[in-house]
Amino acid sequence: MATLIEVLAAVGVLLLIPKVYGLLSFIWLYVRPSSVHNYLHGPKPAWAIVTGASDGIGKAIAQELYDKGFNLILHGRSEQKVRAVVEGLRARSTATGARDVRYFLADAGAPGHDFAKLVAPYSDLNITLVVHNVGGSSDVRNERLDKRSEAEMLCDFHLNAAFPLFLTRVLLPQLRTSAKHGPVLVQFVGSLASEIGPPRLPLYAASKAFLKGLTRALDNDERAWSPTGVHFTYMYVGEVVTNSMKTDVSLGSPSAETFAKAYVARIGCGWRRYHPYVIHAIQDWFMQGLGENVVDRFVMKRMGELVVQLEKRS
């Protein structure tokens, strides 16, 4: 009969196997070749939609996807800013080959959009990738939650949660048609804030957590009724330097361009939730091990530093 030590050793090995597998999967996520080319399929040219593409991360992602071979449908609120992005992309055609770039305008923070009308001009296109990048929060120096109006709070919710949800709803039939020829991906851009609950941003954090839950449920929904080939993923975003996050570029706070390269490299990786940028993933793993009390103190300190930096820059 096996001794107690042998039994304990066997149990230890069994407990260790998932940890080793998880570590190897994590490493493979960041060294594997990109699968973004798998979404360039169909009897017609492949298109990608990028919301919130007039600035920051969205603009950088649009540039990366354009260079990889996608035609683009960009969304923004300001026509002047979106047109500047469109013209900048078309100017890249000499080096990367000519592709089409179109756009539509909508204030994502406002209710009452006719979403079917917004996407009607693109109903005949082979859309294989949707990046719901639009989002954000009111200035972190704003009043506390009980001092804010319902209109302001609804604006944040529409911007981060309702707009991506309702746009996805009207796109789904078209995406299922595209999925008959190959994989189709809908990517919700989330935030590490949904995990750490930073002060000053309670509604933003909760809205991103909504998207995380929506991702899993929609992905299962597309498989449960009758597998359609449309998949949903949730991308965590940590601290990235943009016009709305004006801090110094560092290893833990990459530029929008650096982050976009990491994002596009992870497209089609097979994970439902992940950090495109490896340093953010390591930061998240480390914070999970520290416990909520320690993380809360660190996050409150960091938010205080960001407020001071914003005040100096304004």
Q: Which of 27-31, 50-54, 96-100, 132-136 has the lowest mean pLDDT?
A: 96-100
Q: What letter does residue 189 receive in the DSSP assignment?
A: E
Helix (H, G, I), strand (E, B) or coil at 206: helix
Q: How far apart are CA 66 and CA 71, in angstroms?
A: 6
Give the pLDDT of residue 94: 60
- 294 to 59, 273, 289, 300, 301: CA distances (angstroms): 35, 24, 10, 10, 11
Would you say residue 1 has pLDDT above 60? no
Backbone φ and ψ of 9, nearest 5°: -65, -40
Per the CB < 8 A criterion, the answer to whether 269 and 228 are in contact is no
**Three-state secondary structure call for residue 268:** coil
Residue 291: its H or E element? none
Across the range 73-93, mean pLDDT stands at 93
The crossing angle, in degrees rounded to 10, of helices 202-224 and 150-157 is 40
48 in Cβ contact with 130 (< 8 Å): yes
- Per-residue pLDDT reduced to its tens digit, 167-210: 999 999 999 999 999 999 999 999 988 888 888 888 899 999 99
| Domains along the chain with CATH numbers | 39-313 (3.40.50.720)
Q: Are 41 and 66 in contact (CB under 8 A)?
A: no
- Burial readout 214-242 (b: 16 or more C-beta within 10 A, e: otherwise): bbeebbeebeeeeebbbbbbbbbbbbbbb
**Three-state SS for 127?**
strand
For residue 200, how many C-alpha atoms fall within 13 Å in the half-sphere facing its CB?
16
Rg for the chain, CA atoms, rounded: 21
**Which pTM was predicted?**
0.90
CA distances from 212 to 133, 195, 208, 219, 264 (A): 14, 10, 6, 11, 19
* Nearest residue to 175 via CA among 49, 65, 1, 302: 49
Task: Give the number of other CB atoms < 10 A from CB of residue 276.
Answer: 25
What is the Cα–Cα distance from 46 to 129, expressed in whole angstroms? 8
Report whether pLDDT(112) > 60. yes
Report the distance separating Cα 61 and Cα 57, nearest Å.
6
Average pLDDT over residues 102-120: 96
* Per-residue pLDDT band at 36 (split at 50, 70, 90): very high
